[in-house]
Amino acid sequence: MKKLKMAALLLGSMLSVSASADLIFDADVTSNVIMGSGVTNGSFTVAQANGVELGLRGKLRHNAAGAPENTYNSNSDGTYSFDAGVAPTQAAPTAVWSFEWSINSNFDGNGGDLDDYTYVLGLDTDPTAAVSMFNFDPINDVNPNYGVVAWDHSIGDNSTGNGAGTETVGADTAGYASLTSTNNLAQNSWKAHWFFGPGFDPTLDATYDISLTAFDANGGLAATTLIQIIVGAGATEVPEPGTMALLLTGLLGLATRRRFAK
């Protein structure tokens, strides 16, 4: 099984100059869950630093009846456990679980708007105990569905009510740019196979690391959070070198590239 707690400790020791790596487990995000209808707050693994709050959680996307529900299966340590298999009433490769993320670029008045930062969402596409990260910016990168920088995130601010986020429609780049330049809160809920690649197999016992990182305008690390999805019995161990070292190296490399790109 991949060593999530060790990763958090290593992040704390290696990156503490730039951002706190102290994770808050089973937490609410500030101030609401603004995506969807009837989606509750809580069970997020949260990082708060330098005015930025980042949250990740696993979610039971399809229960025995095939319906979504507010069940997060948190183990209270940044890991979330789910059954292996194709979700009831759904076609393969839909898993029973999904993951949800929240970016608040100004949770305490010391940050800025969403477009004042760049972000890296890291998805470990390797179901074994090894790590193979697919990284992209869920705010500023091109949405592959439309080929432009416009996503269907729920967007708002710290006063936005539960389920009341605003979403752009299709390839509305102007509307999306306006939302990200005047708001500080973005959230979404994604099924695994949408982003874990064509080889994703929901029937495997597996573990998947998911990280979310924010960088400021100078390329400096603002905040980072990390969760692990445990599917079935979890992943089969593979030979070292340590998998978390690879993940940490990737994060540090991304931070360096952003700093020199400015």
How many helices, marked H, and strands, marked E, lie in the chain?
4, 11
Residue-wise pLDDT tens digits, 169-188 = 999 999 999 999 999 999 99
Stretch (H or E) spanning 57: strand 52-60
Structure-block tokens of residue 187: 């959230």
The average pLDDT across 5-9 equals 44
Stretch (H or E) spanning 102: strand 97-104
**Is the confidence at residue 94, as pLDDT, over 60?**
yes
Residue-wise pLDDT tens digits, 31-81 = 999 998 889 999 999 999 999 999 999 999 988 898 889 999 999 999 999
Residues 6+ apart with CB under 8 A from 160: 31, 32, 34, 185
Start-to-end CA span in the chain (Å)? 38
Give the number of other Cβ atoms within 10 Å of residue 83's Cβ.
Answer: 13
Which residue type is seen at 185?
Answer: L
**Is the confidence at residue 107, as pLDDT, over 70?**
yes
Q: How far apart are CA 243 and CA 233, in angstroms?
A: 18
Using omega within 30 degrees of 0 as the cis cutoff, is the peptide bond preceding 181 cis?
Answer: no
Residues 6+ apart with CB under 8 A from 82: 58, 60, 73, 95, 96, 97, 229, 230, 231
Binned at pLDDT 50, 70 and 90, residue 131 comes out as: confident
Half-sphere exposure (Cβ direction) of 250: Cα atoms closer than 13 Å: 23
Region for 163 from its dihedrals, namely left if φ exceeds 0, alpha if ψ lies in -120 to 50, beta otherwise: left
In contact, 72 and 80? CB cutoff 8 Å: yes
Which residue type is seen at 235?
Answer: A
Question: Which residue reads 């970016």 in tokens?
Answer: 103
CA angle centred on 73, ends 136 and 107, rounded to 5°: 50
Binned at pLDDT 50, 70 and 90, residue 21 comes out as: low
